[in-house]
């Protein structure tokens, strides 16, 4: 077995579960919403989470202006198909009556909103008392979907401040990943970022070094005791709308 093949086989999984862990959590939370409930997917994008909502009255909303190319800076998707959105509007001005929804999800959206607190205020207006708010957003993120990228991330104190002030009681605030997981994710990005932004790439011995760094990060992550308070992928948040 060549050195390259050995590195591929023994490459630890650390830093690879940001998306899969978030989607696993989201599916479990959505499945707990009673059948027939009216749910708003705010900033739905391509409506990728409609698949979790077959038992619900699903309503999609987005501003509908991202085309996959953006301004060509940072990370772009190349193409982007919204499908048929139910509501096309600014997230801070959604044309629905107060308390129109039993649940609202806003998944990886807040960093793309110029005024996130205003977005939370609007979503709270739309949620019925006793209803469920589901939010995820990065703790820290690279520039993506630019020019529609306005914040690099949100820590727990943002949610603990802005949700209660908008009538939402936080019932779950769970970190996704930890410091070591996040660092491993970025180590794995070195090669594609170097390819995009430099005329060279990591040499073989440097790739070997990154492999051992990832093994170290894997070991440290397995023994982690709370480094998410410093850095993680982001937070998984559930809140309940207070009675008027």
What tens digit of pLDDT does each residue of 81-115 get?
A: 999 999 999 999 999 999 999 999 999 999 999 99
Question: Nearest CA to 237 among 168, 148, 181?
Answer: 168
Confidence check: pLDDT of 182 > 80: yes
Q: How confident is the model at residue 7 (pLDDT cuts 50, 70, 90)?
A: low
User: What pLDDT does 170 receive?
Assistant: 98
Q: In terms of residues, how long is the chain?
A: 244
Enclosing H/E stretch for 232:
none
Report phi then psi at 184, rounded to 5: -65, -40
pTM metric for this prediction: 0.94
The topology under which CATH files domain 18-178+233-241 is: Rossmann fold (3.40.50)
Give the residue extent of every domain in the chain. 18-178+233-241
User: What pLDDT does 3 receive?
Assistant: 52
Write the DSSP symbol of residue 44: -
Question: How many other C-beta atoms can be found within 10 angstroms of the C-beta atom of residue 103?
Answer: 24
């Amino acid at each position: 077995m060549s050195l390259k093949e050995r590195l591929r086989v023994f490459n630890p999984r650390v830093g690879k579960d940001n998306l899969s862990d978030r989607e696993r959590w989201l599916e479990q939370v959505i499945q707990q919403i009673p059948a027939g409930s009216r749910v708003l997917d705010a900033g739905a994008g391509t409506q990728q989470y409609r698949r979790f909502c077959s038992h619900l009255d699903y309503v999609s909303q987005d501003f509908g202006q991202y085309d996959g190319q953006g301004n060509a800076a940072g990370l772009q998707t190349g193409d982007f198909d919204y499908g048929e959105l139910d509501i096309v509007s600014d997230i801070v001005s959604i044309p629905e009556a107060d308390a129109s929804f039993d649940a609202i999800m806003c998944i990886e959206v807040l960093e793309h909103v110029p005024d996130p607190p205003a977005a939370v205020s609007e979503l709270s207006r739309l949620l019925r008392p006793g209803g469920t708010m589901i939010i995820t957003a990065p703790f820290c993120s690279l520039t993506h979907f630019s020019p529609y990228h306005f914040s690099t991330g949100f820590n727990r104190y943002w949610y603990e401040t802005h949700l209660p002030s908008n009538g939402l009681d936080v019932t779950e605030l769970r970190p996704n990943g930890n410091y070591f997981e996040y660092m491993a994710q970025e180590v794995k990005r070195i090669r594609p970022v170097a390819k995009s932004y430099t005329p060279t790439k990591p040499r073989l011995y440097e790739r070997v070094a990154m492999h051992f760094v990832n093994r170290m990060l894997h070991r440290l992550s397995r023994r982690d005791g709370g480094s998410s308070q410093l850095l993680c992928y982001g937070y998984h948040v559930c809140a309940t709308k207070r009675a008027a």
